[in-house]
Amino acid sequence: MEFKWTYEEQTSSIVRTFLKRQGISKKLLAKIKFQGGKIFVNETEQNVLFSLKTHDIVTVVIPDEEPHETLLADEVPIEIVFEDEHVLVVNKPAGIASIPAQYHPRGTMANRVKAYYVKQNYANQVVHVVTRLDRDTSGLMLFAKHGFAHAKLDQGLQKKQFVKKYQALVSGEVDSLQNHGNISMPIGRDLSSLLKRQVIETGQKAETEYWLKKRNQTCALVDIQLHTGRTHQIRVHFSAIGCPLLGDELYDGSLDLGIERQALHCYSLTFPHPFNNEPLYFQLPLAEDMATIAATI
């Protein structure tokens, strides 16, 4: 894969420094050097110590990635929301994990995406997961289609350039919900469980913002934006204020309305494109099981 930039600075700089500013890490530079990549300045091959002048054209050829043989391919169709040569956005169904675990090597979105890459005969077949969702959370999930895109997207995450929004169905003390509120409570491990988290004074800072969309006597639909990324954050926070998610048995959510997974859906994802910086915005309707209940509120 080839990338090209024009050096616009008035003062000289070596190629290595310039490429670092473009997001190319030491690890990627080593891959370019030792695994068949190339660096050109004005169409002449150069090394990373070459001194650049204004208007020089720098071209980098990044070698294709070898597929991970340990990641198995599951030939199950995926619902593609958006795809270009750098990113892939899919709609993850509830009940499907994002990535494999030691004793569960297949049946995940990563396995399905691997099969899709193989079927498309893409040069890069390594699956790069950028944003994950819990097994029983549905909605938008982002993959990078090569390592350089993954690194650039990770930089965007670190700079808080991503906005993920969720919708949830909650029950319990729904009359206490404000039209707009913030839940700011630290979250840490619940030592009585391998999976469970809890609000605890010694936990990490966690902040969840929400907007009430509608409610009746038994449940409510809320829009949610996370300002931190703690494990199970939405589920823990809403349970802590007496409004656990429908179907969320782990956090005392009601199972009475016919939904058997936490009623949580990532419906909106916004982030800058990793290479042209244009804003990308994706939105999905509620998953069918949640939409059926929401229609009755």
Q: What confidence tens digit (pLDDT) does each residue in 164-195 have?
A: 999 999 999 999 999 999 999 999 999 889 89
Q: In the prediction, which pLDDT does 243 show?
A: 98
Instruction: Give the mean model confidence (pLDDT) for residues 37-49.
Output: 96
Backbone phi and psi for residue 113, each to the nearest 5 degrees, phi listed first? -65, -40
**Helix ranges restricted to H, 241-287:** none
Task: Please list, in sequence order, all residues whose beta carbon lies within 8 angstroms of the beta carbon of residue 200, skipping any fewer than 6 positions away.
Answer: 186, 187, 188
Residue 137, domain member (yes or no): yes
Judge if 98 and 50 occupy the same domain: no
Instruction: Give the mean model confidence (pLDDT) for residues 133-157.
Output: 96
d(C-alpha 4, C-alpha 276), whole Å: 12
Residue 227, domain member (yes or no): yes
What's the residue count for the chain?
A: 297
Residue 68, domain member (yes or no): yes
Judge if 26 and 70 occupy the same domain: no
Whether residue 94 is predicted with pLDDT greater than 80 in this model: the reply is yes
Given 136, 159, 182, the domain boundary residue is 159
Residue 271, domain member (yes or no): no
Judge if 148 and 170 occupy the same domain: no
Amino acid at 97: A
Structural domain that includes position 220: 164-266
d(C-alpha 296, C-alpha 48), whole Å: 63
**In the annotation, is 134 catalytic?**
yes
d(C-alpha 62, C-alpha 175), whole Å: 56
Q: In the prediction, which pLDDT does 175 show?
A: 96
Judge if 138 and 173 occupy the same domain: no
Instruction: Give the mean model confidence (pLDDT) for residues 13-30.
Output: 93
In the block, tokens 């244009």 appear at 278
Judge if 258 and 213 occupy the same domain: yes
Instruction: Quickly state the pLDDT bin for 20 (edges 50, 70, 90).
Output: very high
Taking the CA atoms of residue 104, residue 206, residue 199 and residue 177 in that order, the dihedral angle to the nearest 10 degrees is -110
Judge if 34 and 72 occupy the same domain: no
CATH number of domain containing 146: 3.30.2350.10
Q: List the one residue out of 118, 64, 114 whose CA is nearest residue 90.
A: 114
Q: List the one residue out of 35, 297, 283 whose CA is nearest residue 174.
A: 297
Percent of the chain residues topping a pLDDT of 70:
99
Average pLDDT, the chain: 95
Judge if 142 and 104 occupy the same domain: yes
Residue 295, domain member (yes or no): no
Task: Please list, in sequence order, all residues whose beta carbon lies within 8 angstroms of the beta carbon of residue 119, skipping any fewer than 6 positions away.
Answer: 75
Q: In the prediction, which pLDDT does 5 show?
A: 96
Whether residue 287 is predicted with pLDDT greater than 80 in this model: the reply is yes
- Provide long-range contacts, Cβ within 8 A and 24+ apart, for 197-200: 197/230, 197/231, 197/232, 197/233, 197/236, 198/236, 199/236, 199/237, 199/240
Judge if 21 and 112 occupy the same domain: no
Instruction: Give the mean model confidence (pLDDT) for residues 74-82.
Output: 97
Residue 273, domain member (yes or no): no
Residue 20, domain member (yes or no): yes
- Residue 264, helix vs strand vs coil: strand
Judge if 56 and 76 occupy the same domain: no
d(C-alpha 229, C-alpha 147), whole Å: 23
Q: List the one residue out of 157, 138, 139 whose CA is nearest residue 149.
A: 157
30-34, 83-87, 206-210, 261-265: range with lowest mean pLDDT: 30-34
32-36, 56-60, 86-90, 195-199: range with lowest mean pLDDT: 32-36
Given 131, 159, 187, the domain boundary residue is 159
Q: First vs last Cα of the chain: how many Å apart?
A: 50
Judge if 143 and 185 occupy the same domain: no
Q: Residue 247 region, left (φ>0) first, then alpha (ψ -120 to 50), else beta?
A: left
Tell me which of 56, 74, 134, 136 is the catalytic residue: 134
Number of structural domains in the chain: 3
Q: What is the pTM of this model?
A: 0.92
Q: In the prediction, which pLDDT does 65 show?
A: 87
Given 144, 159, 174, the domain boundary residue is 159
Judge if 111 and 25 occupy the same domain: no
H or E stretch including 238? Answer: helix 233-240
In the block, tokens 């150069």 appear at 46
Q: Residue 54 region, left (φ>0) first, then alpha (ψ -120 to 50), else beta?
A: beta
Judge if 41 and 127 occupy the same domain: no
User: What is the DSSP secondary-structure string of 5-35?
Assistant: EE---SS-EEHHHHHHHTT--HHHHHHHHHT
Residue 49, domain member (yes or no): yes
Instruction: Give the mean model confidence (pLDDT) for residues 41-51.
Output: 96
pLDDT digits (tens, 9 = 90+) for 204-220: 999 999 999 999 999 99
